[in-house]
Amino acid sequence: MSNPSGPGENEPVTDDGSAPETEVIDPAALSGAADVEQTERRFTAPSGMDAGRTQIIKTASEPATEIFAVTQGGPVAPQLIPGRDDNPKPPRRRRSWGWVIALVLVIAALAAIAILGTVLLSRDDPPAVSQQEMVRTTIQNFDTAIQNGDLSTLRTITCGETADTYVKYDDKQWNDIHSRVAAARQYPIIASIDQVVVHEGHAEANVTTFMAFDPSTRSSRSFDLEFRDDQWKICQAPQ
């Protein structure tokens, strides 16, 4: 394509004096060439290799650049990064409780045996009787022996002057006397034992009595007792 106005001062001139044709470059072609140049790089093979073939080396893709957000308002405090949970932990020392449990069981068994032995021993022993109860028993036996005329019992549970009274009688005399007394109902009967006081080897008991022939007439009497021959004995009986 020629310039109708002729060549300018700065335009190149061919050998024949005419201006060269203006080359028209396609923009699309330039864009494609630029893309090919960016995506592909061509290298000339070094000497000794096949210069007729061009090797295309693809560029390695680079990872995307990570953008860190900047916190406004001052420096950022350091953060503590926790350790990994899969790290092996030091072995713990296991406590042996077996011997403790065994010791407790042995102590409990010994305590149970001791309690059982105490119960069995206490069951074999007769219940303890108080001195007051023993005095009451002696008075009740004396009252029964008087009513029944039991001379042998009266001699064993009495002492002092009272015992002498029953000792002086022989069996025949005693039986005759008791028969007459029983027929006339002239013997005393103990209605109740009201109070018993024990002081070491001596005891005193207050009782309520009545005569067999007159139960409605009651009177208070007292017994004096002493502890002799491992038992309580009546040393003075009410007359």
Q: CATH number, domain at 186?
A: 3.10.450.50
User: Helix, strand or coil for residue 160?
Assistant: helix
Could you tell me if residue 163 is inside a domain? yes
CB atoms within 10 A of CB 154: 23
Could you tell me if residue 48 is inside a domain? no
Could you tell me if residue 159 is inside a domain? yes
Could you tell me if residue 213 is inside a domain? yes
At 9 the pLDDT is 47
Domain that holds residue 147: 131-236
- Number of structural domains (the chain) is 1
Could you tell me if residue 151 is inside a domain? yes
Could you tell me if residue 77 is inside a domain? no
Q: Is 11 left (phi over 0), alpha (psi -120 to 50) or beta?
A: beta
At 98 the pLDDT is 76
Give the Cα separation of 153 and 138 in Å (integer): 10
Could you tell me if residue 162 is inside a domain? yes
Give the Cα separation of 124 and 119 in Å (integer): 9
Q: Please report, in tens digits, the pLDDT of each residue of the chain (239 residues total).
A: 444 444 444 444 445 555 555 555 555 554 554 454 444 455 454 555 554 555 555 555 666 665 555 555 555 555 656 555 555 565 565 666 777 788 888 888 888 888 887 777 666 544 557 999 999 999 999 999 999 999 999 999 999 999 998 999 999 999 999 999 999 999 999 999 999 999 989 999 999 999 999 999 999 999 999 999 899 999 987 76
- The edge-to-edge listing of strands for the beta sheet with 202-211 is 188-199, 202-211, 214-228, 231-236
pTM score over 0.85: no
Could you tell me if residue 68 is inside a domain? no
